[in-house]
A and B are shown apart, each in its own frame.
Chain A
């Protein structure tokens, strides 16, 4: 490895060094604010690292990792999201029992794992990254040891994710058995032309494992329980960073292996997309718990993303990237609101907690309405441009069946978002627990929500700069 290759890894190195620094800071003195500050500084340095290595890309560093425009884009997205989650977590943890400090190193490890997944083009680095992400998440989900539901969610995620990892490994092994290599491009060349039953089995297992991580139907069973049990900021993290990284990998792997050309693989993804859109939206209708509702809605959103994924290459990359930005902002904002409204015990998760919110707390209510409208894909929000892009890609590739189901299920989806919005506009009945009152870190969380809202509206009104950025990133990565 040359020095220049090492230098190109600067963002990842910074990110890896930050949790160590944070742990060192905890060892010196347990101070929540200091740890948070170290975390943010580390994420900031890492982000500057991204800008610094930008002229060097694309560059393959060892067979394991590739730094190209596409990697930089997703790593940047993960870093910003992690910083937002850290800021949203501060006031959430401040109100609760127990030591909040170790939370941040875990969060950073998870982010590091996600970045490695997004940067990998080799099965080994993919798996290592995935495990770093997964193991940190088990701990983060169950971080509040006093909450039985958190523990339950953590154990559930641990067992199911471990099973999924085993399936994934087996799939990789089968593909390796045929191609003799763990590099994506090598497996692609061996897959090109003819493919045997062994490879099909390998691909099927691989797809199952990835679908689990993305909580696509029929591998979605864990999602509502884990979303419900995990602390609200971590739920936001799972549904954005962890899924985004794995989807980025999916796009990269099937960029090398032209899955869309294998009718059976394309068929399989179409079926998963249809099932996810339908099941996600229909099951969300039945929920009274806001976190569970958002869990099912995220299943549906990943289904929409698969529609874009199945479109032609160039379109798929820009559509998916834009949709992810919009989805990241909106879902993070939504869980941020859930977190900020939560008291010191339990969370504001029942739809009754939101009754008349817009009159009780107009600003937070307005933020939540914006986020929900964005998730529903109403114009002048980022979510609309994202959905427009997905439809655009779908129509261009003549995926009419999927496009029509997307439209139909979007209307169903609107039903439950509006139900929540209608509750917020309802008459304010006496709230169970008035959650007002200044808390440490409230301003930080409120500022994050404010920035997210402005971004959601800005990207909905004037998406050109982001589209340009995505296109330039895609151009630097050979898609």
Chain B
């Protein structure tokens, strides 16, 4: 039942915050904040209560599971489950939701109660996505989350909010419906072969699908995840949505929504269609590398600061796509760490842009210059997150990108080299951004306040998390490890082509890196 609470609590808190608005706007914010802290405590408690290292190897990696009948006539169940991978992402979701509430403290002044309800409803949907292991339940959360997100962009967004909100909704909906058709196709293929018609993830994983059909079904799933991620040709909704959303909306979009795409690839696409996904991998990896370059180059060309950060997201998520489609444990670990750290670092950058915009009422780079003197604390924080985003060793993003590149190198050296060059581009636009905003001669006497304690604490905590992951990634790797290993083994078992190959290289590489990836074989004994 704890899983139901995990999903229901944000929604209930949202409703409470909405009601609390009548007693005062401040109360609404405090209710939302307190509720999220309780939720975060539950997540941490879950993490502490279920030591991942003690899992029995070879069995299902669920820590907590809940299965109730929902629509038995169609084989749909209310099936939630939590493992290390989802635990990490749920923790990220709640953490960024707290950041979202805090960064809106002064920015949102209209319809405050309703805003918090919408924010928390979005988070509810996202947590549901990370916990659902029935494909229809997953799809329901996947789509249900769009509505509050749409309302948030369309109501509290900036100038072109309606256009951006609409584009966001249409793109994701188109991908989602293709996924729904693919889910149905999978359901019938599996049902006809075995006689049990079910949408249950665990059972469908064992489905044997003819190769041609599997490719089409896999592409249906890929459409949905590639739009969310976003992969190169499906990204055009992202710069608009991120730029027009209010700050909290951008944080949720960049920090969480994009991660649902990466999560979907790891959890569903590869395990359900191992053969087709492996066959598709070269194309997906090419798209990933194109995305890395394309995002970085376009980020460099932007004059709108928020758009710049948005394009940098496309570049960073290219690493996630690359890591997933390489599909060995090293790269997968890298993809997961990259998702976590990108969520926090880009979220923080959006928060800083939001703070700047609140103060000087513009996001245009040409109108900024030499702000370091005016706001040194803000400048320092921006520098830290810019360094994180360019992949400075010691910060979390470095671990993610590095692991992805290592994993990729074993599979395809060319791709790894190309992607590594992409990191150089990230350095260019990140430093260029810091230079243009905070350094150089001051054009005019723009005066504004530096960060207040609320903003400072928020950013410092976010920076500390990035630093912690960068210095001690072991905890995160251990948490997601068993799941990723089990998934990898499942896929390797399904595709004879991949069996047995990557293990030796991985251990040696990880030893070289000083990171102990808990080895699957030792555990099995």
Contacts and interface: CB of A to CB of B under 8 A. Distances in A.
A463 interface: yes
Interface of B: 70-74, 111, 136, 139-141, 143-144, 146-147, 150-151, 154-155, 162, 165-166, 169-170, 173-174, 177-178, 180-181, 184-185, 188
B147 A373 contact: yes
A196 interface: no
Nearest to A389: B74
Contacts of A462: 70
Contacts of B155: 425
B70 A464 contact: yes
Contact of A463 (B71, B165, B173, B178): B71
B139 A379 contact: yes
A410 B177 contact: yes
B184 A411 contact: no
B173 A414 contact: yes
Contacts of A380: 140, 144
B143 A379 contact: yes
Contact of A411 (B136, B139, B147, B173): B173
Interface string A414-456: 1100110010011000000000000000000000000000000
Contacts of B165: 418, 422
Interface string A215-250: 000000000000000000000000000000000000
B114 to A, nearest CB: 9
B150 A418 contact: yes
Contacts of A463: 71
Nearest to A414: B173
A418 B71 contact: no
Contacts of A359: 111
Shortest Cβ-Cβ A-B pairs, 9 listed: A395-B184, A379-B140, A407-B177, A379-B143, A411-B174, A379-B144, A467-B73, A422-B162, A464-B71
Most buried by A among B72, B139, B162: B162
B147 A467 contact: no
9 contacts: A379-B139, A395-B185, A403-B181, A410-B173, A410-B177, A411-B173, A422-B166, A464-B70, A467-B71
A368 to B, nearest CB: 14
Given A422-B162, A467-B74, A395 B181 contact: yes
Interface residues of A, number: 30
Q: Please classify the interface of chain A as helix (H, G, I), strand (E, B), loop, or mixed, using the class held by over half of its residues.
A: helix
B147 A378 contact: yes
A456 to B, nearest CB: 14
Nearest to A423: B162
A48 interface: no
B185 A411 contact: no
A396 interface: yes
Interface of A: 359, 373, 378-380, 384, 388, 391-392, 395-396, 403-404, 407-408, 410-411, 414-415, 418-419, 422, 425-426, 462-464, 467-468, 471
Nearest to B220: A407
A463 B139 CA distance: 16
B73 A468 contact: yes
A425 B151 contact: yes
Contacts of B147: 373, 378
A259 to B, nearest CB: 23
Contacts of B150: 418
A224 B507 CA distance: 68
Contact of B170 (A373, A395, A414): A414
Given A380-B144, A425-B151, A395 B72 contact: no
A422 to B, nearest CB: 5
Given A392-B184, A418-B169, 14 more contacts: A378-B144, A379-B139, A379-B144, A388-B180, A392-B74, A395-B181, A395-B188, A407-B178, A408-B174, A411-B170, A414-B173, A415-B166, A422-B162, A425-B154
Nearest to B216: A400
B15 to A, nearest CB: 13
Given A388-B180, A407-B177, A464-B73, A414 B151 contact: no
A384 B76 CA distance: 14
A379 B166 CA distance: 18
Nearest to A411: B174
Nearest to A413: B173
Contacts of A407: 174, 177-178, 180-181
A426 B154 CA distance: 8
A394 to B, nearest CB: 8
B154 A422 contact: yes
A425 B115 CA distance: 13
Nearest to B136: A388
A16 B146 CA distance: 47
Contacts of B184: 391-392, 395-396
A392 B146 CA distance: 23
A414 B169 contact: yes
Nearest to A376: B173
Contacts of A373: 147
Most buried by A among B150, B154, B166, B180: B180
A419 B143 CA distance: 18
Contacts of A410: 173, 177
A321 B185 CA distance: 22
A94 B71 CA distance: 43
A109 B181 CA distance: 42
Contacts of B166: 415, 418-419, 422
B171 to A, nearest CB: 9
Contacts of A388: 136, 180
A426 B165 CA distance: 13
Most buried by B among A359, A388, A463: A388
A419 B155 CA distance: 13
B191 to A, nearest CB: 9
A379 B169 CA distance: 14
B144 A391 contact: no
A419 B173 CA distance: 15
Contacts of B154: 422, 425
A391 B170 contact: no
Contact of A396 (B71, B136, B140, B188): B188
A419 B166 CA distance: 8
B455 to A, nearest CB: 29
Contacts of B111: 359
B219 to A, nearest CB: 12
Most buried by B among A384, A392, A395, A408: A395
A462 B72 CA distance: 11
B170 A415 contact: yes
A404 B166 CA distance: 21
B188 A391 contact: no
Given A380-B140, A415-B170, A471 B73 contact: yes
B292 to A, nearest CB: 29
Contacts of A415: 166, 170
Contacts of A425: 151, 154-155
A467 B151 CA distance: 32
Contacts of A468: 73
A445 to B, nearest CB: 26
A445 B143 CA distance: 31
Contacts of A418: 150, 165-166, 169-170
A154 B185 CA distance: 46
A380 B70 CA distance: 13
A468 B73 CA distance: 8
Nearest to B188: A396
A383 to B, nearest CB: 12
Contacts of B72: 464
A405 to B, nearest CB: 11
Nearest to B169: A418
A1 B299 CA distance: 82
Contacts of B140: 379-380, 384
A415 B174 CA distance: 11
A415 B169 CA distance: 9
A140 B188 CA distance: 46
A410 B165 CA distance: 17
A396 B74 CA distance: 13
Contacts of A426: 162
